[in-house]
Amino acid sequence: MSPNRKETKSPPKDQQQHLVIDIGNTHTVIGVFKNNHLENHWRINTKKNITADEVILILQGFYKFQTAKLSNISYAAIASVVPAIQGQWKQAVSTCFSLKPFLIQAPLCSSFTIDIDVPEQTGADRLCNVLACQALGFHEAIIIDFGTATTFDIYKDNHYKGGLICPGIYSSLLALTQKASKLSEVELYWNDELIGKNSDDALRNGVLYGTLAQVDGLIQYIKKTAGMSRAKVLATGGLASLIGKRSSNIHLIEEDLTLMGLNYFITLQLASNINV
């Protein structure tokens, strides 16, 4: 029996599910996969001082309104960019599902080479996005994740080549409105007219059209400098659809890409007999 499961009776294989948890700086996303299909997912605000007991209540609360059973979770994986609360989530998963979750770490991502100066510095979410590209069968990809930061990751021929980190859309908006007394936060939606006729529209258009120009410009520059003219360009994250649908350079919008990578990570770990 895998050390990632405690001594409990496993559900039938056709009922087995994978629990995946992506802990980001702003949001935490929880997903359940069955036969590589995302059955359910939930998004909550990331609480930086959350306790294990609170996490248990959250997980039990989600399952209370689902037809699935807690006991059907066979394996779990966590990707976290918030180290301070990683232990609480790990403990809660262990308590709720009687298993030890996998933790995404650079040394365990053996299906590709991390070609950067210090591989251990690579964010867990970025590792997951590369894994998802592998799961989708892409050999050359630019992955854009619209989160607290907007990140660009470059994957080519089983090598993670590094990437770019830019201020996120909401992070930029919040920083500007906090520094400029006469500007207030605005709802983000597209206006057909580029030139704003009032402060709110000017700010809204500046943020959205400015981000679009940044994204399209960087995609072209990356393709040229990295020799990746045939690269697939994927967008993920909470604001992926908002920008991705306006970009002529983004080929695929997959808001659950990180969860897909987590699920694929579990599959690889089991297949390689590491920790099994």
145 strand-pairing partners: 151, 236
The predicted structure's pLDDT at residue 14: 56
User: Which domains does the chain carry?
Assistant: 13-103 (3.30.420.40), 112-257 (3.30.420.40)
Over the stretch 191-239, which tens digit does the pLDDT of each residue have? Answer: 999 999 999 999 999 999 999 999 999 999 999 999 999 999 999 998 9
Residues annotated as catalytic are 125
Secondary structure string (H, E, C) spanning the chain: CCCCECCCCCCCHHHCEEEEEEECCCEEEEEEEECCEEEEEEEEECCCCCCHHHHHHHHHHHHHCCCCCHHHEEEEEEEECCHHHHHHHHHHHHHHHCECCEECCHHHCCCCEECCCCHHHCCHHHHHHHHHHHHHCCCEEEEEEECCEEEEEEEECCEEEEEEEEECHHHHHHHHHHHCCCCCCCCCCCCCCCCCCCHHHHHHHHHHHHHHHHHHHHHHHHHHHHCCCCCEEEEECCCHHHHHCCCCCCCEECCCHHHHHHHHHHHHHHHHCCCC
**Number of other residues whose CB lies within 10 A of the CB of residue 13:** 8
Residue 122's pLDDT band, with cuts at 50, 70 and 90, is very high
Residue 5 has pLDDT above 70, yes or no: no
Q: How confident is the model at residue 184 (pLDDT cuts 50, 70, 90)?
A: confident
Dump pLDDT digits (tens) for 109-119: 999 999 999 99
Give the sign of the dihedral formed by CA 171, CA 175, CA 181, CA 182.
negative
Alpha carbons 273 and 112: distance in angstroms, whole number? 17
Predicted confidence at residue 16, as pLDDT, reads: 81
Q: Which tokens hold the place of 32?
A: 């359940």
Per residue in 41-54, pLDDT (tens digit) is 999 999 999 999 99
Q: Is the pLDDT of residue 66 over 60?
A: yes
Percent of all residues in the chain with a pLDDT value above 70, rounded to a whole number: 91
